[in-house]
Amino acid sequence: MAVRRADVVAAALGILDQFGLADLTMRRVGSALEVKAGALYWHFPNKQSLLAAVADAILAEVVAPEPGPWRPWLAAWTDRLRTTLLRHRDAAELVSATLATGLGAVDLGTPPARVLHGAGLGEADARAAARALVHLTLGQVSEEQTRATLSEVGVVSGHDPEAAARDHAAGVALLLDGLAFRLRD
């Protein structure tokens, strides 16, 4: 039974979820598929491309909110992005890295930028605001996930998920206030 590209991505995502990014090696993905590491290079040119595909798979889970007023739409979208990232171990770090390399296919900033542009913001400002929202979320979740892992191992104590959610919402609300100020008549 030949392994297909999608099988490789699924296996990699499974390893990420169970063991984290540090254990996501080509050799481990291969052995999960009962195949040697070298075989993966038939499907992907290198490890980074495989990681980008995993990041894309994760981001595809973010469902866009129903069309509506820009502020609740953005608040909901940001929250869904956060929740999706939290569902997969080390996902924020993985997505950040992929976003930086530019290898990912999913354009994370486009949906919020479109909404903001539709609300009357200039295109450049809309893109800048979308980037800010994305970086804010990735940064907060990345810190939260690392802390969660560390507290699991017992290195650090008292990781509070509700406090993290509030922190994130506070940062987002600040940005949305700034946007409301820009969009006022």
- The distance of closest approach from Cβ of residue 144 to DNA in the complex, given in angstroms and rounded to an integer, is 23
86 touches its own copies by CB under 8 A: no
Cα 72 from Cα 66, distance rounded (Å):
10
**Residues near 96 by Cβ (< 8 Å), separated by ≥ 6?**
138, 139, 142
Residue 103, amino acid: L
Window 16 to 55, contacts with DNA (CB under 7 A): 23-28, 30, 34-39, 41-43, 45-48
Binding partner selected for residue 38 from DNA, its own copies, none, CB under the kind-specific 5 to 8 Å limit: DNA
151 binds, among its own copies, DNA, none (CB under 5 to 8 A by kind): none
- Rounded Cα distance between 124 and 139, Å, is 22
Report the alpha-carbon distance of residue 169 to residue 177 in Å, rounded.
12
Considering only residues 48 to 77 of the shown chain, the ones binding DNA according to CB under 7 A are 48
Residues that bind DNA (CB under 7 A): 2-4, 23-28, 30, 34-39, 41-43, 45-48
